[in-house]
Amino acid sequence: MADRKVEIRVRRELAGRVDGARLARVARRTLRAEQARGTVSLYVTNDAEVRALNRRFRATDAATDVLAFSVGGDMPATRRYLGDVAISYERARAQARAARWRVADELDLLAAHGILHLLGYTDETPRARARMWRRQERILGRPIKP
């Protein structure tokens, strides 16, 4: 679908563990559910790289599960780039174990979560977090434990 383009990149050593086509479907489903058009980039990498990105762009020297970098601004609808999402595979794996579901399910959640951040959702207050988690559950079609 040209109006909802998704670019998937996976760090080389993780390539056999990540289903890029599945992540692209989740990303498009998230964009469609939010009636958003444009291009997003998802990058699955390791803790070290996410930590470096977090330190460089957020002034936080720690790894995290997902980072979203929104482009914002007013671009023509035909060329709208929404932003980039970086996901830590290591965090996804640990969180999947804790939640007792597959890593692929956690990657789905983190992809949807990151894209919702690109679209303006926040999780900084209990009310905003609850709204975002309800939205993720609806998009993914399953209950999620925050």
User: For 104-116, what is each residue's pLDDT tens digit?
Assistant: 999 999 999 999 9
Q: Mean per-residue pLDDT for 40-65?
A: 95
pLDDT at residue 78 in the model: 46
Domain assignment present for 146: no
Q: Is residue 132 part of a domain?
A: yes
CATH, residue 102: 3.40.390.30
CA 134 vs CA 7, 19, 103: distances in Å: 26, 25, 21
Q: Whole-model pTM?
A: 0.91
Looking at residue 143, its pLDDT comes to: 80
- Counting the structural domains of the chain, the total is 1
Instruction: Identify the domain containing residue 34 by its residue range.
Output: 4-140
Task: Judge whether 145 lies within some domain.
Answer: no
Q: Which residues are CB-contacts of 91 (< 8 A; sequence separation ≥ 6)?
A: 47, 50, 63, 64, 65, 66
**Domain assignment present for 109:** yes
Residue 1 has pLDDT above 60, yes or no: no
The answer to whether residues 107 and 97 touch, using CB atoms and an 8 Å cutoff, is no
Provide Rg for the chain, Cα atoms.
14
pLDDT band at 24 (very low <50, low <70, confident <90, very high): very high
The token pair at 124 is 């900084």
